[in-house]
Amino acid sequence: MTSLSMTSLTEATSLLGTVAKGITGGVLIPYLGPGVLEVGEAECPVPTSTRGLVERLTQKVGVPGRIRNNLWASAQYIETNRHRITLVRMMEEIFRPVPAPGALQTWLASLQDLPMIVDTWYDATQSEALKGRNDWGQLQGGTRNAIGEDRYYKAFDATGTEVGVDAVNGWKTVLYKPHGASWPSCDLLVSDSDYVEVLTEIDIQTPIPQRVKDIREDRGFVFLGCRFYDQMLRTYAKQIMKRSKGPHYAVITDDLTRNELRFLDDNEIVAITVPLEEAITEMVGAP
C-alpha cells in the first residue's frame, strides 16, 4: 500500500490531479461514504456516520447497552420489539431533511462522462444534485423482508418513478445506493435481518446489479468520506469493487485502525491521507 502523509503536499497534489482526471474521464468511480456530508461550514441535518445514526435511533428507543454502539444490531432490536414499520418511520424522519449538495456532489453531478456514482449512505444529497438532469437514474438495494418482496434492488428514473431494471442501460449516469435510500422510496438495509440473505449471496455477487458489474469491469474506485472500521463496511466495499480493473484510491484520515490498514493493503488501495475538504477543493479545481 502506498500512503501519502499530510506533509507530502507535492505528491498528494499530483495524485489528486490524477484522481480528478480519472473521475472526469469516467475511468474512476467515486465511492461515497457519509463523511462527505461533513465537508462545508453548514451543520449537516442528518447523521454522518453509522455511530451517529445509531445514537439517533437509540435516543428514541432504548436498546440493551451491549449493542447500543452497533447500528445493525440496534436496528434489529427496534424492528423485533417495535415492529418494522416503527424502524422505517424512524429512518424516514431522521433522513427527511436533505443536506444541500456541496462542492463534491455538485461537481460529480456535472460530469457527463461519469457512468456511475456509488453512494453508501441513506441521504438524498447526491440525487438532489443530479435532479437538474434527466439522463440518470438510481439503483438502490432494499430489504427482502417485506411481504412478497424477492428482489435485492430496485430502479428509479430521474423523477423518482420506479422502472424496470433494464432501463438502467439507457442512463448516462447510474447512482448506485447499495444499502438503500430515503428517496424516493424509503426502502433500505439497516437491521441484521436485512443483511442475512444479502451477505449469504454477496460473495457470488447475486445482490450486485448487472449494470454495476459491467461498469466496474474496466475501471477503478475512489473512496471519499468512507471509514472501514466495521466488517460490514469492508465486506460491501470489497464486493462492489470485486473484479474491477483498478487502480483504487482512498482519501482517508491517518488515524486508521489495524483492520482498516489491512483492508487497504489487501485490496491494493492507495491511501491519500489529506483532509477530505482539501482533497475535494483540489479535485474540483483540477484542470
Check residue 218 and give its pLDDT: 96
Check residue 188 and give its pLDDT: 92
The answer to whether 88 touches 145, Cβ cutoff 8 Å, is no
Number of domains in the chain: 1
Check residue 12 and give its pLDDT: 80
> How far is it between the farthest Cα atoms of the chain?
55
* Owning domain of residue 118: 3-40+101-284
The answer to the question of residue 66 being in a domain is no
Ramachandran category for residue 211: left, alpha or beta (phi over 0 → left; psi -120 to 50 → alpha): alpha
- State how far the Cα of 267 lies from the Cα of 248, in Å rounded to an integer: 8
The answer to the question of residue 129 being in a domain is yes
- State how far the Cα of 62 lies from the Cα of 9, in Å rounded to an integer: 46
The answer to the question of residue 69 being in a domain is no
Peptide bond into 178 cis (omega under 30): no
Check residue 9 and give its pLDDT: 63
The answer to the question of residue 123 being in a domain is yes
Check residue 6 and give its pLDDT: 37
DSSP for residue 193: H
For the chain of 287 residues, list the mean pLDDT of each consecutive stretch of 10. Answer: 47 89 98 96 93 94 93 96 94 96 97 97 98 96 70 94 95 97 93 90 91 97 95 93 95 89 94 92 86
The answer to the question of residue 180 being in a domain is yes
